[in-house]
């Protein structure tokens, strides 16, 4: 069962309508995103059924990941034309499907990064 549709992504794009090939791209990227999530959280459907996770949260994560690609399918970070240059924020665009640590936490993934950690070496002196 798909958790998101092309229409879920389309409503987040300021453009009034999508060309058929854009809709096909979005549908393909939705499928990729959902497979990435299911590889890491294979019991996703069970978590939703149990009420531990909302299907709206899953839809939000899927659409956010796809939207980052749709906004910049070529993956450009910077573009120049003569004296005019602009740069895009890497956190809002990507040419690959990426799910952020915050989004993994929303999905209840226990392996999501939880901030900065410390490694403390233990040195033992000879007795």
- At 12-70, the pLDDT tens digits run 987 767 888 889 999 999 999 999 999 999 999 999 999 999 999 999 999 999 998 88
Q: How confident is the model at residue 113 (pLDDT cuts 50, 70, 90)?
A: low
Does residue 117 lie within any of the structural domains? no
Instruction: Indicate whether 95 belongs to any domain.
Output: yes
Overall number of domains in the chain: 1
pLDDT of 79 over the 70 cut: no
Question: Does residue 71 fall inside a structural domain?
Answer: yes
DSSP-H helix ranges across 1-127: 6-10, 20-40, 44-49, 55-71, 101-106
The answer to the question of residue 113 being in a domain is no
Residue 48 lies in a domain: yes
DSSP state of 23: H
Q: Please provide the average confidence, as pLDDT, over all residues in the chain.
A: 80
Instruction: Please give the helix or strand (H or E) that residue 99 lies within, else none.
Output: none
The pLDDT of residue 95 is 53
Query: Higher confidence at residue 125 or residue 114?
Result: 125
Domain that holds residue 18: 6-106
User: Residue 111: inside a domain, yes or no?
Assistant: no
């Amino acid at each position: 069962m798909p958790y998101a549709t092309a229409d879920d992504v389309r409503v987040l794009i300021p453009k009034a309508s999508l060309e058929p090939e854009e809709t096909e791209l979005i549908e393909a990227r939705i499928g990729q995103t959902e497979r990435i999530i299911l590889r890491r959280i294979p019991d996703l459907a069970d978590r939703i059924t149990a009420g531990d996770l909302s299907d709206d949260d899953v839809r939000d994560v899927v659409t956010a990941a796809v939207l980052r690609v749709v906004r910049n399918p070529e993956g450009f970070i910077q573009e120049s034309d003569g004296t005019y240059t602009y740069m895009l924020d890497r956190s809002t665009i990507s040419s690959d499907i990426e799910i952020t640590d915050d989004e993994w936490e929303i999905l209840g993934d226990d392996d999501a990064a939880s901030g900065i950690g410390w490694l403390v070496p233990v040195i033992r002196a000879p007795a």
